[in-house]
Structure 1
């Protein structure tokens, strides 16, 4: 609304393309974000979008600069967890951990606080503090039976940390709980469970090609292959 009408439309079109492409083609989304940034670098939403596009392409230093700019413009702490995760991406987990203890965290909503907990646990793992990472994830949100948008990811992170610590039975249990909460397939909990149980997936196309090459095999061999 702060831009002239024609310019606002040009900027908005580029932001729409960032949103559409950021998951399937992050490099292209990044390119659109740079156009929007050239057109309207003083708009907080543009700086935020540019930050997420840079983050998606692992340009963490650039992403952090854009997030900081957006935060200065809006005064909001909403981006605090992803800013901390950028510090991890830059190889500075100790800074991410320090951010987890800053007053800004108390101003986050519940989803933001859970996200900050995930980042802090990741930072602990980056530093080789696996037991501390497990403890960091233990919380009322993890223990709750209620399912929220962040529940599957929190349970998954806990299961993954347990598995890394060699606590396989507990990890299997929590991968199962993550799968129960994962309604939109945001994690690969089902694959992790299958892997732990020794299930091996075979590409159906490859299997068909093998079958064509071995048409002369006997029936019993065919049954074994199908099984």
Structure 2
């Protein structure tokens, strides 16, 4: 099976993400808070919360930090309100960009995100201007080890309901429908599989190949967006040059 490789496009940035682990925990904490606020603090009856807990564990987020975010969402540690907003537009070179935000101030977020687009040579567009270029999918990344049997992992993924299985360097990338994501993740987890990452993603249908100059501009734009405390995720269809960031 083969398909779009999300991991290929993020692995060059992994070191930078690891260095910003505290910020990553903050962003996941907000997701946990919102999920608990909307659906309750019990992951067994709140599938969205259960999936985000899995995402948090894959990012090595401490259990007490996870539990504290859930309690805040359930109102046990004070009431906080965040609104989910999606922004869309184009970066340099015609790269399609989707920004997902959780904010307590829409005006602040809109202004900051617009500024990040424009400062990078891009432009913020209307709702729906690039979403049609992406498919919403579950993406599970499994690290290869000396004891990993590729055929066994692939068959487990397929049997669990995965749509796609892609060996990619030192990882396996497993793609699912949004509806099957929870079941596939739980089935693999029950079989002893651990994830580098596990989340619902916006997967581009086609990629925009970049040269080194354009790749640097896009990376700076992504950095500006991800540095914003209101921004949760930045999805794009940029294909960085082979070996970029190494």
TM-score bracket for this pair, using the shorter chain length: under 0.3
Higher fraction of helix:
1
User: Comparing both chains, which one has the higher relative contact order based on Cα–Cα distances under 8 Å and sequence gaps of 6 or more?
Assistant: 2
TM-score normalised by structure 1 residue count: 0.25
Identify the structure with the greater strand proportion.
2
Q: TM-score, normalised by structure 2?
A: 0.23
Instruction: Select the structure of larger CA radius of gyration.
Output: 1
